[in-house]
Amino acid sequence: MATPTVFKNFINGEWVASKSGETFENRNPANTDEVVGLFQKSTADDVNDAISAAAEAYKKWRLVPAPKRGEILYKVAQRLLNDKESLSKDMTREMGKIIAETRGDTQEAIDMTFYMAGEGRRLFGFTTPSEMQNKFNMAIRQPLGVCGFITPWNFPMAIPSWKMMPALICGNTVVIKPATDTPLSVVNLVKVCHEEGIPAGVVNMVTGAGSKVGQPIINDDRVRVVSFTGSTEVGRKVSEGCAPKFKHSCLEMGGKNVQIVMNDANLELAVEGALWGAFGTTGQRCTATSRLIVHKDVYKKMVDMMVAKANALKVGNGLDPSVQMGPCVNQSQLDTVLSYVEIGKKEGAKLVAGGERLTGGDYDKGFFVKPSIFADVTQSMRLWKEEIFGPVLSIGVFDNFDQAIEMANDTEYGLSASIYTQDINNAYRAMRDVYTGIFYVNAPTIGAETHLPFGGTKNTGNGHREAAAATLEVYSEWKSVYVDFSGKIQRAQIDNQ
Displacement of CA 105 from its chain's centroid (Å): 10
Longest CA–CA span in the chain (Å) reads: 85
Number of residues that bind ligand UN1 (CB under 6 A): 9
Pairing mode of beta strands 477-484, 135-142: antiparallel
The least CB distance from residue 322 to ligand UN1, in Å, is: 23
Task: Classify residue 145 as exposed, middle or buried by CB count within 10 Å of its CB (0-12, 13-18, 19+).
Answer: middle
447 contributes a contact to ligand UN1 by CB under 6 A: yes
460 contributes a contact to ligand UN1 by CB under 6 A: no
Q: Which is nearer to ligand UN1, 155 or 368 (CB)?
A: 155
Which of 327, 319, 313, 280 minimizes the C-alpha distance to 30?
327
97 contributes a contact to ligand UN1 by CB under 6 A: no
- Give yes or no: 272 in active site: no
163 contributes a contact to ligand UN1 by CB under 6 A: no
371 close to 310: Cβ distance less than 8 angstroms: yes
Taking CB under 6 A as the binding criterion, the range among 140-148, 187-195, 279-287, 384-392 that sits at the site for ligand UN1 is 279-287
Taking CB under 6 A as the binding criterion, the range among 4-12, 59-67, 284-292, 425-433 that sits at the site for ligand UN1 is 284-292
What is the rounded CA–CA span in Å between residue 229 and residue 223? Answer: 17
Within positions 98 to 127, which residues make up the interface with ligand UN1, using CB under 6 A? 108
285 contributes a contact to ligand UN1 by CB under 6 A: yes
Taking CB under 6 A as the binding criterion, the range among 192-200, 233-241, 352-360, 444-452 that sits at the site for ligand UN1 is 444-452
453 contributes a contact to ligand UN1 by CB under 6 A: no
Among 218, 405, 448, 472, binds ligand UN1 (CB under 6 A): 448
Does an H or E element contain 15, and which?
strand 14-16
DSSP state of 409: T
Q: Which of 108, 119, 252, 387 is catalytic?
A: 252
Q: Which of 147, 170, 250, 286 is catalytic?
A: 286
What is the rounded CA–CA span in Å between residue 433 and residue 278? Answer: 23
The least CB distance from residue 50 to ligand UN1, in Å, is: 24
Name 473's Cβ contacts closer than 8 Å, sequence gap at least 6. 464, 465
What is the rounded CA–CA span in Å between residue 9 and residue 207? Answer: 6
286 contributes a contact to ligand UN1 by CB under 6 A: yes
17 close to 193: Cβ distance less than 8 angstroms: no
- Give yes or no: 108 in active site: no
197 HSE (CA, 13 A, CB side): 14
32 HSE (CA, 13 A, CB side): 12
The least CB distance from residue 154 to ligand UN1, in Å, is: 6
165 contributes a contact to ligand UN1 by CB under 6 A: no
The least CB distance from residue 287 to ligand UN1, in Å, is: 4
328 contributes a contact to ligand UN1 by CB under 6 A: no
Residues that bind ligand UN1 in the complex, under the rule CB under 6 A: 108, 154-155, 285-287, 446-448
Active site amino acids? 252, 286
